[in-house]
Structure 1
Amino acid sequence: MPRTLLVPFYDHPADRPDAWETLIAAAPLLYGVVLNPASGAGEAPDPAFAEAAARLRAADVPVLGYADTDYGRRPHADVVRDLLRHRDWYGADGAFLDQVATDPALLPHYRRLSVAARAAGADTLVLNHGAHPDPGYAGLADLLVTFEGTWAAYPEVRAPEWTRDHPPELFCHLVYAAPPGARPTTSVHCAVPGEAPHPWGTLPHLLEPAR
């Protein structure tokens, strides 16, 4: 069974234990789960997230530690500190870098972050650009998120020519405010019913339990 779902799920395990149980039970479908205790790793370990992460790892699901890069404005050391805390506190074996720039001028900055993420133990590295970046970013990560937005905006997405030179497994679309049955076109994807400002407090339609 292919692992096609990349799930950013940001609700606290103590607040939605049933949803976390559902997520863990869906392990065979999961490309990975983005762990985001406090818009990053936070200032201290959270035991509930640590337990959830341990159970995901036991189910052979990659745990991707969330770190915001603020489109290149956040200092390198701050991003790396988040990644190291995810590794040390939650056993994260992957990294999800958010708000990643698309500009080729920032490639050196993100190349350094990519090297640092691998050194911090990230077997799986995801860059969330939210749009198609310069093609130079394709060699930096295992997965590029080239769309993050609403289902209403999704029909406007057009892949640039350079994407044809890469395997489809390199690209991911994260879609929210999506109706039941919505299916993004990328091999790895996630479509959730939640809406802004907190869409990633819902699971994909396929997994979302009754609330």
Structure 2
Amino acid sequence: MSLLIPLYVHPAEDPGAWHRLITAATRTYGVVLNPASGPGEVPDPAFTAAAGALRAAGARLLGYVDTDYGVRDPAEITEDVRRHRDWYAADGCFLDRVTATADGLAACRRLVRTLRRLGVGTVVLNPGVHPAPGYARLADLTVTFEGHWSTYVSAFSRPAWTARHPAGRLCHLVYGVPEALVPLAVRTAHERGAAVCGPVTGEPPNPWAELTPALAGAGR
């Protein structure tokens, strides 16, 4: 099981969390860098330093980019990805709020092709739900669930097409997990065909402001 780590807190606000993440970098699938709901307008020195330390420790860096469910101009998305690469040496991108409908598949395919031509190494798509068949073939990793633990245990369903994809290309991000049940959340993701996950104990509005307790035991 690999862990995807969206740590949406500034390094100056919680340096301890970033230090723990750096020391456990090799236990992760990747770390999502999100200075300002994207790369921001100018480089952030604290994120530059954190990104450098993570890279030196062996982490894969994924720049956060909001696609606004297909509404945002692809040129703006591409520019954000380029900034993450140039400012923070990101290896790839984490495309958030990706549309999940069949109607949006062609536009998403064009966007991913553009990013591949830029040299983006890893593309993660996050529709947060199981998208129409076809999306998962575009990405290195697709987040097919993002939501609360209560929903994950009571209302999760897995479409048949997911069985045609390796578990290593599917991810579940679950928040509001009681700390004692984090190991169960990891096992549940694996049983549901996702070899990458990110269970956290945090709650909205920003459940990703803290590290997953699973990081301490990942890879053991």
TM range (shorter): over 0.9
Two-structure CA RMSD over aligned residues (Å): 1.2
Residue 67 (structure 1) aligned with residue 65 (structure 2)? yes
2:3–2:215 Cα contact (<8 Å) kept? no
- Structure 2 Cα separation of the partners of residues 163 and 17 of structure 1: 38
Structure 1 letter corresponding to 2:104: L
Q: How does 1:1-211 map to 2 (within 5 A)?
A: 4-155=2-153, 156-180=155-179, 181-182=181-182, 183-184=185-186, 185=189, 186-207=194-215
Structure 2 letter corresponding to 1:163: T
- Structure 2 Cα separation of the partners of residues 9 and 33 of structure 1: 7
- Structure 1 Cα separation of the partners of residues 119 and 46 of structure 2: 22
The higher-RCO structure (CA 8 Å, 6+ apart) is: 2
Q: TM-score, normalised by structure 2?
A: 0.90
- Structure 2 Cα separation of the partners of residues 39 and 17 of structure 1: 19
- Structure 2 Cα separation of the partners of residues 191 and 134 of structure 1: 24
**Which structure 2 residue ranges, 5 or more long, are not aligned?**
none
1:22–1:207 Cα contact (<8 Å) kept? no
SS of equivalent residue, structure 1 residue 153: helix
SS of equivalent residue, structure 1 residue 6: strand
SS of equivalent residue, structure 1 residue 145: strand
* Cα deviation code 1:158-186 (max 9, x no counterpart): 11011111111111000011111322412
**Which structure 1 residue ranges, 5 or more long, are not aligned?**
none
* Cα deviation code 1:65-99 (max 9, x no counterpart): 01000110011011111000000110001100000
- Structure 2 Cα separation of the partners of residues 29 and 58 of structure 1: 14
Q: Give the number of aligned pairs.
A: 206
